[in-house]
Amino acid sequence: MRKTIMLLAVTTSLVMACCTPQRDKDLVNIQQYENSIDLQNNKVDSLVGNNLITMYIDFASKYPTDSLAPMYIMKAADVSANIGNTAIAIEYLDKVISEYPSFEKRPDCYFFKGFIYETVACDNNKAKEAYTAFIEEYPNHPLVNDTKTIINNLSLSDEDIIKMIMEKNNASL
């Protein structure tokens, strides 16, 4: 009797696995892989990061019209930036911007490009271009005023920024 129940359980599991659409299997694999690593603290080594990027990009390539495709490309950009592949990160963000014009997080892609250029690539000229494109594309976005401040501060040294903050703090006292 036990063998029959065990055989029935295994058979049912196999049948269910075979009947599950590939998309769902891919999503489960991505979710399990994400859960197995520490994405929250940006502690992703290159091998793990590249594996995750491959999973994201493969999903987006297999299902380009899926609502998750642009989100996974954006996540691939984030992981790429965190493992130091800034050029690839920018490429992925540009892909989302150009291929998914109605994606709700598209403004974040513009802003994130500027952030990557500024903080990871340390290219203030490219950062300014990306931030300016963000402002031009989304002039009513809640981050526009902050973005203008960032652009103004790009040319300042760390010492100048600290001095400016100290002056503002002293003026408010």
Q: Residue 83: inside a domain, yes or no?
A: yes
User: Rounded to whole angstroms, how far apart are CA atoms 51 and 42?
Assistant: 15
> Residue 33: is its pLDDT beyond 80?
yes
Instruction: Point out the domain boundary residue: 78, 104, 130.
Output: 104
Average pLDDT of the chain to the nearest whole number: 86
% of the chain residues with pLDDT over 70: 84
Find the mean pLDDT for residues 54-66: 96
142 and 91 in one domain?
A: no
Domain boundaries, position 26: 21-104
pTM of this prediction exceeds 0.85: no
Find the mean pLDDT for residues 32-44: 73
Instruction: Point out the domain boundary residue: 47, 80, 104.
Output: 104
Q: Residue 61: inside a domain, yes or no?
A: yes
Find the mean pLDDT for residues 27-44: 78
> Residue 172: is its pLDDT beyond 50?
yes
> Residue 59: is its pLDDT beyond 90?
yes
Q: Residue 144: inside a domain, yes or no?
A: yes
SS3 content of the chain, % helix, strand, coil (to 5): 75, 0, 25
99 and 111 in one domain?
A: no
Q: 């002293």: which residue's tokens?
A: 170
Instruction: Point out the domain boundary residue: 70, 104, 138.
Output: 104
96 and 111 in one domain?
A: no
34 and 87 in one domain?
A: yes
